[in-house]
Amino acid sequence: MYIDYLISSIGIIRIQANTKAINSISFVETVGMDIHSNSLIQTCKTQLSEYLNGQRTLFSVPVSIEGTPFQKEVWNALIDIPYGNTYSYQEIALAIKKPTALRAVGTAIGKNTLAIIIPCHRVLPKQGGIGNYHWGKSLKETLLNLEKLHNNQ
């Protein structure tokens, strides 16, 4: 298990990987004492920095995430949301051909452990507002504004 941190303009990002893929990206309050990095994490840190600077809209670092087949289907639909765009929970449910599964879609989105790379921050309630985000509404709004700013340049 490898763990490292990216200290960024929007907070501290904890990155966890094995020898083959990144398996967790999350926002934390402090840098832990558990730093043990590898080249995959270094590549991920570079790609995340490029994203935050508006130089990257897609990620190429290999990822692996544990979940049910339904959760993986939802997470794959999130990856398909174009940079700088947002979808509603209903649009995700329709994209996976389960139009009545809104609550299950929301639950799956909440279980995403790969912040930014699986862009759950791009999903908003159909009725308006910012909606929830595992790492806080303020951070979700920051990510959306960052993408909007760089998408319009």
Name the nearest CA neighbour of 144 among 92, 87, 59. Answer: 87
Do 61 and 46 meet the contact criterion of CB atoms below 8 Å apart? no
Ranges of H-type helices in 5-101: 39-52, 69-79, 89-95
- Single-letter residue type at 41: I
- Single-letter residue type at 126: K
Q: What's the CA gap between 117 and 52, in Å, rounded?
A: 12
Active site residue: 120, 123, 143, 144, which one? 120
Bridge partners of 17, per DSSP, are 2, 22
Our answer to whether residue 44 is catalytic in this structure is: no
Task: Give catalytic residue positions.
Answer: 120
